[in-house]
Amino acid sequence: MAMKGILLVLLLESLVLVAADTFKDEALNIMASCPVIDGHNDLPWQLLSKFNNQLNKTDLYTLNDTHTNIPKLRAGRVGGQFWAAYVPCDTQGKDAVKRTLEQIDVIQRMCEEYPEVFSCVDSVQGIEDAFAGNKIASLIGVEGGHSIDSSLGTLRTFYKLGVRYMTLTHSCNAPWVDNWLVDRGDDQAENNGLSEFGKNVILEMNRLGMIVDLSHVSVKTMRDTLEVSKAPVIFSHSSAYSLCNHARNVPDDLLKLVKEKRGLVMVNFYNDYVTCSKTANLSNVADHFDYIKKVAGYESVGFGGDYDGVPRVPEGLEDVSKYPDLVAELLRRNWTHAELNASLAYNLLRVFREVEQVKTNMMTSDPKEVPIEYEKIKSDCHTSYGYDVSDVKDAAERQLLGKGLILLCLLYSLLV
């Protein structure tokens, strides 16, 4: 009897094991024809931090103290990656533009140095070609509106350099847009979401064909953008607020708006956004996929791991090699092949295609030319060329100086 019981337990256990392997096999099978396009990876930031962007000081095949390297990307069936051209908020109004250019450059050099692995692309067609050639389609996302230094000319130039999304803020306001810290009371609202200039930034991104990314922004900014944008938007690395009420996550009413506007929320794996604690596991992340699918539909879910941008990742999702394990868990939760195809790649491709279509539709509209108000950017690090500031402070100073000189002359003439 006992023997039979043990045998039964062994049999059941092996069935469970077989089932587990089957899910993993099926995941790998699905990802063989439909690899993942992830919304946000901070390897470029690691390259700056560790090597001051000297690629020649490392080898991306053997780099082993990051979440990301080439063997891990291959094992993870990563077929597309938005690499973050991220520079911290303390560059704002200082060398943000230069440093962003350097991060764009290091991404492009990565593609040049490892052409057998990465293919830098900037269109839906480019992604599809990279898939077909078994290359990792590499795209550039600028993380933080401070990177354009309130300049539409800089935004347009970034587009020409291949930038295909811009996250409107990082963890600071820009002079035209408010960030998520405002919702926590840790930052003052300065623009009540998007300012008028900010709305023009969105329309200019629409006209250019640059995807708008709402990760990191305040809820009011999310709402303003969803209202203004002519194209669907993404959250490149954010999770569900209802499962973890962190202000970096997306509340239910916004999830519904994203669905309505055919946008996409790419789930962030960072423990602190997944469970609102320091610990998390793969199953907790799968809960966010299930939840967003329930509220906004499978057409609105994607992957946005935030690898190499966070200090903690969930058990079972230790690095970029683990995407197939997450797909296996979703299969276990009865996600269909079509739903997985969509969340792995097709949702992003759909959004990107629509963004490209809006660009085509707007082909005849003129570039936005009205600069931000001088008062918004005035600082020791900015000159005023092009602005008519004669009636502002400079004029006041000149007047004061003039009066001072007259006084001196008077004094002199009295003394002499």
Ligand X SMILES: *[C@@H]1O[C@H](CO)[C@@H](O)[C@H](O)[C@H]1NC(C)=O
Just list the catalytic residues: 40, 42, 143, 170, 216, 237, 306
Give the C-alpha separation, 192 to 223, whole Å.
11
Whichever of 154 and 341 has its CB closer to ligand X, that residue is: 341
Give the CA dihedral 385, 390, 396, 397, nearest 10 degrees. Answer: 40
Whichever of 48 and 97 has its CB closer to ligand X, that residue is: 48
Contact 193, 221 (CB under 8 A): yes
Supply the minimum distance, in Å, between the C-beta of residue 79 and ligand X: 10
DSSP string, 133-179: TT-EEEEEEEE-GGGGTT-HHHHHHHHHTTEEEEES-BSB-BTTB-B
- Token code pair at residue 158: 């970034």
Whichever of 41 and 275 has its CB closer to ligand X, that residue is: 275
DSSP SS3 for 301: strand
313 closest CA partner among 72, 24, 18? 72
Q: How many residues does the chain have?
A: 416
Looking at the DSSP bridge assignments, the partners of residue 213 are: 167, 234
Give the C-alpha separation, 345 to 36, whole Å.
6
Distance (Å) of CA 52 to CA 44, 103, 141, 162, 260: 10, 10, 20, 22, 43
Supply the minimum distance, in Å, between the C-beta of residue 328 and ligand X: 12
Whichever of 140 and 344 has its CB closer to ligand X, that residue is: 344
Supply the minimum distance, in Å, between the C-beta of residue 65 and ligand X: 7
145 closest CA partner among 228, 202, 230? 202
Whichever of 113 and 187 has its CB closer to ligand X, that residue is: 113
Supply the minimum distance, in Å, between the C-beta of residue 287 and ligand X: 9
Q: Which residues bind ligand X (CB under 6 A)?
A: 33-34, 56, 62, 64, 275, 281, 283-284, 333-334, 337-338, 341
Supply the minimum distance, in Å, between the C-beta of residue 32 and ligand X: 9
